Amino acid sequence: MRLLIVEDDALLGAGLRAALGKWGFKVTWVRHGAAAFDVLANEEFVAVVLDIGLPDMSGLEVLRRLRAGGNTLPVMVLTARDTTRDKVTSFDHGADDYLVKTTDMEELVARLRALVRRSGRGGGLLSVGELILDLDARVLTRNGEAVNVSKREFDILRALMEGAGRVLTRAQLEQSLYGWNHNVESNAVEVHIHNLRLKIGATTLKTVRGVGYTIARNEA
């Protein structure tokens, strides 16, 4: 998945490019708002990670121009500014999510993947054990046989397979399904997990009591 980072800090930008690259993203990094528009005019991305404090124009101005031009590319604002007013202003300008720069990399990756899932821009295949998830056709197969799953079940399974080997909490799965601004029924995730276990096997999708859910990664 191709990702654009717009960040003027050299150390942070290089660190994000290297770290996100290890999580499977193909990263292009620019340090100015004008450079971001040049790149976006010629290349396709699944999402943008955008700083507010850029040297030539603010990240908010970048956002405003993107949305005014009809660009619906998912944008994650990643900034040192942590006030409620900064968050509200970013969302008002068209941001899809907002994180403060002190956040850990796992949260950033999880929320970026959630943005991409909700936008429908990510494609390809995910394979874990006997399961193959076709992200374009939205089809699940197990040992070569198609498995009928609902939209929510598919999205939960996608999040778990993308994070294979890691434990995802209920809150992380809710974020993947519904985003930051939706009310969720208290047992919605548990119901979907129960249904998935009936379809793919209880030993494949495991509960880590008191923490969350996981699917084991493929052995090397």
Inform me whether the pLDDT recorded for 158 exceeds 50: yes
Integer Cα distance of 156 and 8 in angstroms: 35
Burial of residue 22, with CB atoms counted within 10 A of its CB: 0-12 exposed, 13-18 middle, 19 or more buried: exposed
Range(s) of the chain covered by CATH 3.40.50.2300:
2-119
Helix ranges (H only) for the chain are 10-22, 33-40, 59-68, 84-92, 105-119, 151-162, 170-178, 188-200
Q: Which helix (H) or strand (E) holds 49?
A: strand 47-50
Average pLDDT over residues 63-87: 92
Q: Are 118 and 97 in contact (CB under 8 A)?
A: no
Range(s) of the chain covered by CATH 1.10.10.10:
125-215
> Which DSSP state fits 151?
H
Buried b or exposed e, range 150-169, using 16+ CB within 10 angstroms: eebbbbbbbbbbbbbeeebe
Inform me whether the pLDDT recorded for 118 exceeds 80: no
Integer Cα distance of 49 and 118 in angstroms: 16
Of 3.10.105.10, 1.10.540.10, 1.10.10.10, 1.10.1370.40, the CATH number of 125-215 is 1.10.10.10
Total length of the chain: 220
- The confidence band for 107, taking pLDDT boundaries of 50, 70 and 90, is confident
CA distances for 32 relative to 54, 55, 66, 140, 151, angstroms: 6, 7, 14, 41, 38
Average pLDDT over residues 36-65: 93
Average pLDDT over residues 130-150: 88
2-119, CATH topology level:
Rossmann fold (3.40.50)
pLDDT of residue 220: 40
pLDDT in tens, 179-208: 654 555 668 889 999 999 999 988 889 999
pLDDT of residue 136: 75
